[in-house]
Amino acid sequence: MGGRIHRISVFAIVLLSLFLAACGQGPSPSGQTGGAGEPASSGALGVVTSITPIADMIRQVGGDRVHATALVPPGADPHDYSPTPADVRTVSQAKLFVANGLGEETYIQKLIQSSGRSDLKIITLSDGLPVLGQGEGGTGNPHMWLDPNYAVKYTEKIRDALIEVDPAGAAEYRSRAQTYIGQLQDLDKWIRSEIAQIPADRRTMVVFHDAWPYFCKEYGLEQVYLAGSSGAEPSPRDYAKIVQTVRDRHVPAVFGEAGFNPKLISRLAEDTGVRFVDNLLDDTVGGPGSATYIDMMKFDVQTIVSALKGSSS
Ligand SMILES: [Zn+2]
């Protein structure tokens, strides 16, 4: 009798988990990352991260030995992301969690707890790197990956963590990381030569949210933003100041970003009579024109340079 009740409750639990699993299956983030919750195929090492640029770096270093999943689908706002039941399942099967840190994964503790994986190895890529700005909760601005020099540091940390969880792959991880770092260094040189085409008095980048301080500092631009990392909108007084800055500096264009509502930034373009350019990609790898992190950066730099260099008027 007790056995029967037990069987019924087991059946109910199985049904419940099937239901939860089905609910969690949204559209796959991208063909490359593999759907969230998809078991690591052919014994590949399951590695989970928050955003698609980092998933791409993991893939560049890990090759076929790893199966990298980004929890936040491209085009979604990572700053207020809530994990799904499928994410919990993905984490429960993972060997490594690669966090960006600085408030980019506010859900991580809950997620690890729900997945029952207090043993999971977690690395935080921003740890120990020079931090700019305030970011959320005063921890600093999280968007380090938008400077390829930081991406080199990320790559080194990913390489070392993969070697630790999978020592058998050490030689492959080292050699792939070395190749990739070379490509990131080439990207850095290319960005410098591209930015050099923008006249010195036009190097102001007006964007929707505070994602570009690392990029701007490295390449000699000045960032002006409407919303902080948390998406908080400017006060009317701050907005008026930004309008004045755009006018005073004869800024030719302002930029919207994929995953963020373009309403306020396109209004700024209207109020100042400058061009509105959508969509810079902050963390959208896997969409059209951005199959990889390097492609994403090239797309962004070309967009920025062609909008800002213009013909002086
Ligand atoms: Zn952001």
What is the domain-level CATH number for residue 220? 3.40.50.1980
- Asked if residue 19 is part of any domain, the answer here is no
**pLDDT for 9 beyond 50:** no
When pLDDT is cut at 50, 70 and 90, the band that residue 130 belongs to is very high
- 45 found inside a domain: yes
User: Is residue 5 included in any domain, yes or no?
Assistant: no
136 and 44 co-located in one domain: yes
> Does residue 254 share a domain with residue 110?
no
158 CA from centroid of ligand 1 (Å): 21
Verify that 283 and 186 share a domain, yes or no: no
Distance 193 CA to ligand 1 centre (A): 26
Dist. CA 266 → ligand 1 center (Å): 18
Is residue 312 pLDDT above 80, yes or no? no
Residues 180 and 73 in one domain: yes
Please report, as a single letter, which amino acid is at residue 217. K
**In this prediction, what percent of the chain has a pLDDT beyond 70?**
83
Say if residue 165 is in the same domain as residue 293.
Answer: no
* Distance from Cα 307 to the centre of ligand 1, integer Å: 21
- Do 43 and 100 reside in the same domain of the chain? yes
**Burial (CB count <10 Å: 0-12, 13-18, 19+), residue 138:** exposed
HSE-CB for 188 with a 13 A CA cutoff: 16
- Does residue 264 share a domain with residue 115? no
Q: Determine the average pLDDT of the residues in 206-225.
A: 96
Our separate counts of H helices and E strands in the chain read: 10, 8
The answer on 99 and 206 residing in a single domain is: no
The verdict on residue 61 lying in a domain is yes
Q: Please check whether residues 79 and 122 belong to one and the same domain.
A: yes
Q: What is the pLDDT of residues 71-115, one digit of tens each?
A: 998 878 888 899 999 999 999 999 999 999 999 999 999 999 999
pLDDT of residue 137: 66
**199, 249 Cβ separation under 8 angstroms:** no
- Quote the pLDDT of residue 297: 98
71 and 180: one domain?
yes
- Amino acid 136: pLDDT: 61
Give the domain extent around 213.
199-309
- Indicate the residue type of 226: L
| Residue 276 host element (H or E) | strand 275-280
Cα 313 to ligand 1 centre (Å) = 32
Q: How far is the CA of 80 from the centre of ligand 1 (A)?
A: 10
- 229 Cα: distance to centroid of ligand 1 (angstroms): 6
Closest CA to 46 of 156, 121, 124: 121
Residue type at position 313: S
125 CA to centre of ligand 1 in angstroms: 16
Please give the distance, rounded to the nearest whole angstrom, from the Cα atom of residue 257 to the centre of ligand 1.
9
Nearest in space to 304 (alpha carbons), one of 163, 210, 140, 191: 191
Last residue of a domain, one of 190, 207, 238: 190
Whole-number Å distance, alpha carbon 27 to ligand 1 midpoint, is 22
Cα–Cα nearest to 97, from 24, 157, 184? 157
- Give yes or no: residues 229 and 108 share one domain: no
- Residue 208 CA to ligand 1 center (angstroms) comes to 10
Distance from the alpha carbon of residue 210 to the mean position of ligand 1, in angstroms: 7
Domain-located, residue 23: no
Structurally, how many domains does the chain consist of?
A: 2
Ligand 1 center to 200 CA (angstroms): 27
Q: Which of 125, 155, 190 marks a domain boundary?
A: 190
Final residue of a structural domain among 190, 214, 249: 190
What b/e string do you get for 104-129 counting C-beta neighbours within 10 Å, with b at 16 or more? bbbebeebbebbebeebebbbbbeeb
Give the pLDDT band of residue 139 (cuts 50, 70, 90): confident
pLDDT reported for residue 11: 42
